[in-house]
Amino acid sequence: MGVRNYLIEGVSGTGKTTVATELQQRGYHVIHGDRELAYRGDPRTGEPLIGFRHEQEDVAFVHRQHLWHVGKVRSLAADKSHPVSFFCGGSRNSRHFIDLFDAVFVLEIDRETLEYRLAGRPEDEFGARPAERDLVLHLHATREDIPANATAIDATRPLAAVVDDILSKCRGGRLKPGSLLSRKPPETSKSMLVSQAIRSTVDAAMLETDKIFAGSIPENYDRYMVPLIFEPFAADLARRAAALSPNAVLEIAAGTGALTRVLAAKLSPGASYTATDLSQPMLDYAASQQASDRRIEWRQADALALPFETAAFDLVCCQFGAMFFPDRVTAYREAKRVLKPGGHFLFNVWDRIEENDFANDVTNALAEMFPDDPPRFLARTPHGYHDKAVIRRDLESAGFQSVAIETTTEQSRAPSPRLPAVAYCQGTVLRNEIEARDAGKLQAATDHATSAIAGRHGSGAVAARIQAHVIMAVA
pLDDT digits (tens, 9 = 90+) for 5-31: 999 999 999 999 889 988 988 888 999
Q: For residues 56 and 295, give the distance between their C-alpha atoms in angstroms, rounded to a whole number.
A: 58
Question: Is the model's pLDDT at 224 over the cut of 80?
Answer: no
Task: Give per-residue pLDDT as tens, 159-174.
Answer: 888 998 999 998 654 4
Please, which residues have CB within 8 angstroms of residue 383's CB and are 6 or more apart in sequence?
323, 350, 351, 352, 353, 356, 359
Q: Bigger pLDDT: 421 or 56?
A: 421
How distant, in Å, are the alpha carbons of 59, 97, 136, 257, 393 from that of 49?
15, 21, 23, 50, 72
Q: Where are the beta strands (DSSP E) in 307-363?
A: 313-319, 339-350
CA distances to 232, 368, 443 from 372, in Å: 36, 9, 19
Going by C-beta distance under 8 Å and a sequence separation of 6 or more, which residues neighbour residue 125?
A: none
Tally of CA atoms within 13 A in the half-sphere of 4 that contains its CB: 24
What are 107-147's pLDDT values in tens digits? 999 888 888 788 877 777 788 788 888 899 999 999 888 88
CATH topology classification for 217-474: Rossmann fold (3.40.50)
CA angle 214, 203, 18 (to 5 degrees): 65
d(CA 282, CA 276): 10
Instruction: Give me the pLDDT at residue 174, please.
Output: 46
For residue range 313-348, list pLDDT tens digits in order. 999 999 999 999 989 999 999 999 999 999 999 999
Domains 2-205 and 217-474 are alike in CATH topology: yes
Answer yes or no: is pLDDT of 442 > 80.
Answer: yes
pLDDT in tens, 279-317: 888 899 899 989 889 999 999 999 999 999 999 999 999
Question: In the chain, where are the structural domains located?
Answer: 2-205, 217-474
In the prediction, which pLDDT does 439 show? 85
CATH fold group of domain 2-205: Rossmann fold (3.40.50)
Q: What is the pLDDT of residue 146?
A: 85
**Is residue 75 predicted with pLDDT exceeding 50?**
yes
Whole-number Å distance between alpha carbons of 440 and 74: 46
Given a cut of 80, whether residue 187 has pLDDT beyond it is no
What is the pTM (predicted TM-score) of this model? 0.61
